Amino acid sequence: MTPLFNKIKLHGFNNLTKTLSFNIYDICYAQTPQQRREYIEYIDEEYNAERLTHILTEVAEIIGANILNVARQDYEPQGASVTMLIAEDDTKEREQFTSTEEPGPLPESLVCHLDKSHLTVHTYPESHPENGISTFRADIDVSTCGRVSPLRALNYLIHSLESDIVTMDYRVRGFTRSVDGGKHFIDHAINSIQNFIAEDTKERYHMIDVNIYQENIFHTKMMLKNFDLDDYLFGGNASDLAPREQQKIANRVKTEMLEIFYGKNMPHIE
């Protein structure tokens, strides 16, 4: 295992680039065209550019970044995007920094050295005109260079964006050079993104890892364990439906979740 950062004496700035791609999915069943429109309107308001800006601002605070510029946009008919350019923040004590494998704060400031780094989020609401399924996706990218890992913000993001399915990709790219000329292709210990996730989250989700250790590529995906049909009905209650209808809708929602989780189409059961 490559030595940890505090044991490495570098020649110049830490040139490693660390990127966390964090994707969430919210799924619901909206039976009528009006309910589908209302769901899209609801989710579009819930995750508008203003709220997404607040979430990314908290992420910047957690990783100790100074926000240089914010660009945000709500789109018609739906969707939103926010991009932040971030850089080093020298206002905090560097001794607070830690790179151990543990869940990050909710949120409290951590310290880092950042330059030419960014935070972005884009949303993608959509619905199916025939089977009643509506799915909302939000993509968040936290890219840093220097000492800190964006995984420190992962715990906060998971708690801020309650989701049915979460997929996460973490990659460390490039190298940084020590004073003796040797290259370091990673500066912190990691064997799974799951080590940065709090126990209460692990209890609620099924989790699968797909990691390529020799390339410093780590992938984790999560799907909620418990299924309650009422949590997925928009504009109605399960008790108002006949048992056969409840089962049909539940099958559609579960199939949608499994297809997203495993990344492939599956036979639909009515």
Q: What is the mean pLDDT of each run of 10 residues along the chain (270 residues)?
A: 49 77 94 88 90 93 88 90 80 47 53 63 85 92 83 90 94 86 86 94 96 96 96 91 95 95 85
Q: Which residues contact 201 (CB under 8 A, 6 or more apart)?
A: 155, 158, 159, 222
What is the SS3 assignment for 183?
Answer: strand
Domains annotated for the chain, with CATH where assigned, are: 17-86+114-262 (3.60.90.10)
CA neighbor of 221 nearest in space, from 232, 234, 211, 236: 211
- 88 and 120 in contact (C-beta within 8 Å)? no
pLDDT at 228: 96
What is the SS3 assignment for 139?
Answer: strand
Residue 269 half-sphere exposure, CB side, CA atoms within 13 Å?
Answer: 10
pLDDT at 97: 45
pLDDT at 198: 92
pLDDT at 223: 97
What is the SS3 assignment for 39?
Answer: helix
Catalytically active residues, by annotation? 117, 122, 145
pLDDT at 224: 97
pLDDT at 115: 53
Task: Name the token pair of 95.
Answer: 């001794």
Task: Name the token pair of 51.
Answer: 């709220």
What's the CA gap between 210 and 193, in Å, rounded? 10
Residue type, 98: T
Burial 238-249 (b: 16+ CB within 10 A, else e): beebeeeeeebb
